Amino acid sequence: MSGENFGGRGGRGSNKRATNRAGQGRSGANKSDRTRAGAAGQGGGSRRNAKGHERNRRSLDQRQKSALAPGQRRRTADPARLTAFEVINAVSFDDAYANLVLPKAIRSHRLDHRDAAFATELTYGTLRNQGTYDAILSHCVDRPLEKTGTQILTALRMGTHQLLGMRVPAHAALNSTVALARAEIGSGPSSFINAVLRRVSERSAEEWNDLITAEAKDDHQRLALTKSHPTWVVRAFRQALAAHGRSASEIEALLDADNAAPVVNLVELPGLGSLDEALAQGAEKGELVEGSAYYSSGDLGRLESVRSGSVRAQDVGSQLVARALASAPLDGSDLAWLDLCAGPGGKAALLGALAAERGASLLANESVKHRAKLVESSLKPLPADSYKVVTGDGRQIAKTVSKAALLPAGMSEGQLFDRVMVDVPCSGLGALRRRPEARWRKSPRDIAELLPLQKQLFDAAASVTRSGGLIAYVTCSPHMAETQNIVHDILAGGEVELLDSGEALRAVALKNEDGASRLSGEREVAFAPDEKKPQQTTAQLWPHVHATDAMFFALFRKK
């Protein structure tokens, strides 16, 4: 089995960190191994007589005794592994997102750069490969996995990732995981974990791969096992590739991209921020969109520009769709913009900055209070009179805008908008690189329940858009039901017309050496749902093609 299947990052740097980290011997395993080896080598032979009694043994009062009972020894969990354990438990018990919890945990445990990198790889690698590891563990546990207990299963998955997905020596992976379990779960479970992980260690990653793939009933299940995605997601992604004009044969590349650690993308708020500080700290200019950069130099909180909010982390896919809506040609007035589903505020901040540059104002609506507070925080760097954040049901936006007091300066009661972003609540299947745990939380039923809401939100947006105004329908998902099928339903209503969404994205992307958009050619994003109307396209970004989230974008004009 390749390191890509089991290793999360699988990169040379992370493997090196893993080897260094494991070699520190904090669990005590290395030291005790050396002690035993030294004792065996003294004198070159046995120290026992014919009756089995040890010769020259110290008297009772001379012997060195442990102050701890056997079950109390080596209960100290190493900080990096403890950090990963706590984060994964938060994901399991509290439905937390690892990308939000992990940075806080790293700071709480005061991990240095090397240990932080190890904890990050252990956390994300364990979460990404959960399905594969569970298939392996089912061969090593004599009971259903769901009956082992959540914390025990977390420790087993973490140990398996170290054994099969990281270059951690087997003895270090076993001893450190058992020490962690003894400290955090108990002596009894730690013995069980030790026995199971020893069984895992008896086969290589390649041997386990051969074993579990031999049990697959079909190709979808084979990919689900080896690429660690639910079978229904594999099937949906394969269908989505074809539905957006790409080859279904790209499915393995797409799944592999989901299992690769994403690069941190930065964006500078136009007219407000600058990437100069980040570039001076080792960031590299982005290749897809202006005002962006790749950052891999550690904690973003070290950057003053990030702390001030004028520069922030944002996936390039989100940057592209926001700029595409803001830059698309528009006849008539262009002063009133709306972000209907603004939380947590990333796209709203970029839209608001672009609007402020042109003298336009942004109304940012969010239905959940705590997310509305995040939007407020995101928009703080903008001129105070250029935006307003309101909390309300997006489906009732017409009622919200009927109250002049809730609108930014310059907007009036019953305001109709020129540009509207409808970034609907969705399955999030397009962001599995950044939120690997989401793949295990979702089901086809979740998507079915979201579809009516997505259409209702678009209809509400259309009701407050002026004739000739633009509406962008956006989802972080490639699933057909949330993308092309919704577009078909929208067009059936007759209120709007679909524009060339692919061209809108190509227009805001940077150009290559030949002067062509970087979203053209092999990276083409456009697809015409109706082959009789090739000028009307949707646009889909892909992790394996564009190194972005799988963001869907459809641009409409109100009739």
Instruction: Provide the whole-model pTM.
Output: 0.84
Q: What pLDDT, on the 0 to 100 scale, is given for residue 261?
A: 86
* 295 & 388 share domain: no
Collapsed DSSP state (helix, strand, coil) of residue 559: coil
| Identity of the residue numbered 167 | R
Fill in the DSSP letter of residue 509: B
Residue 131 lies in a domain: yes
Domain housing 200:
3-31+73-206
Q: What pLDDT, on the 0 to 100 scale, is given for residue 541?
A: 98
User: What is the rounded CA–CA span in Å between residue 219 and residue 458?
Assistant: 37
* 405 & 485 share domain: yes
Residue 175 lies in a domain: yes
* 287 & 308 share domain: yes
Last residue of a domain, one of 313, 329, 347: 313
* 370 & 411 share domain: yes
Q: What pLDDT, on the 0 to 100 scale, is given for residue 75?
A: 60
* 103 & 171 share domain: yes
* 307 & 337 share domain: no
Last residue of a domain, one of 182, 206, 230: 206
Nearest to 147, CA basis, from 139, 136, 159, 138: 138
* 272 & 327 share domain: no
* 333 & 363 share domain: yes
User: What is the rounded CA–CA span in Å between residue 38 and residue 365?
Assistant: 69
* 293 & 382 share domain: no
Residue 247 lies in a domain: no
Cβ contact 160:10 at 8 Å: no
* 469 & 457 share domain: yes
Query: Which CATH number fits the domain that encloses residue 483?
Result: 3.40.50.150
Cα dist from 241 to 217, 355, 359, 400, 502, whole Å: 23, 34, 40, 39, 16
Residue 244 lies in a domain: no
Last residue of a domain, one of 281, 313, 345: 313
Q: Which of 364, 476, 525, 550 is catalytic?
A: 476
Q: What pLDDT, on the 0 to 100 scale, is given for residue 76?
A: 76
As annotated, the binding site includes 341-347, 366, 393, 423
* 451 & 552 share domain: yes
Residue 391 lies in a domain: yes
As annotated, the binding site for S-adenosyl-L-methionine includes 341-347, 366, 393, 423
| Identity of the residue numbered 295 | Y
Residue 55 lies in a domain: no
Run of H or E residues at 135: helix 130-137
Residue 48 lies in a domain: no
Q: What pLDDT, on the 0 to 100 scale, is given for residue 77?
A: 86
Query: Which CATH number fits the domain that encloses residue 9?
Result: 1.10.940.10
Q: What pLDDT, on the 0 to 100 scale, is given for residue 45?
A: 40
Q: What does the pLDDT profile of the chain (559 residues) look like in tens digits?
A: 434 344 333 333 333 333 333 333 333 333 333 333 333 333 334 444 444 444 443 343 443 333 444 444 446 789 999 999 999 999 999 999 998 899 999 999 999 989 999 999 999 999 999 999 999 999 999 999 989 999 999 999 999 999 999 989 999 999 999 999 999 999 999 999 999 999 999 999 999 999 999 999 999 999 999 999 999 999 999 999 999 999 999 999 999 999 998 889 999 999 999 999 999 999 999 999 999 999 987 778 889 999 999 999 999 999 999 999 999 999 999 999 999 999 999 999 999 999 999 999 999 999 999 999 999 999 999 999 999 999 999 999 999 999 999 999 989 999 999 999 999 999 999 999 999 999 999 999 999 999 999 999 999 999 999 999 999 999 999 999 999 999 999 999 999 999 999 999 999 999 999 999 999 999 999 999 999 999 999 999 999 999 999 999 999 999 9
In this structure, how many other beta carbons lie within 10 angstroms of the beta carbon of residue 92?
A: 16
User: What is the rounded CA–CA span in Å between residue 162 and residue 7?
Assistant: 9
The yes-or-no answer on residue 140 being catalytic is: no
* 84 & 132 share domain: yes
Phi, psi of 345, deg, nearest 5: 120, 0
Residue 230 lies in a domain: no
Q: What's the domain count of the chain?
A: 3
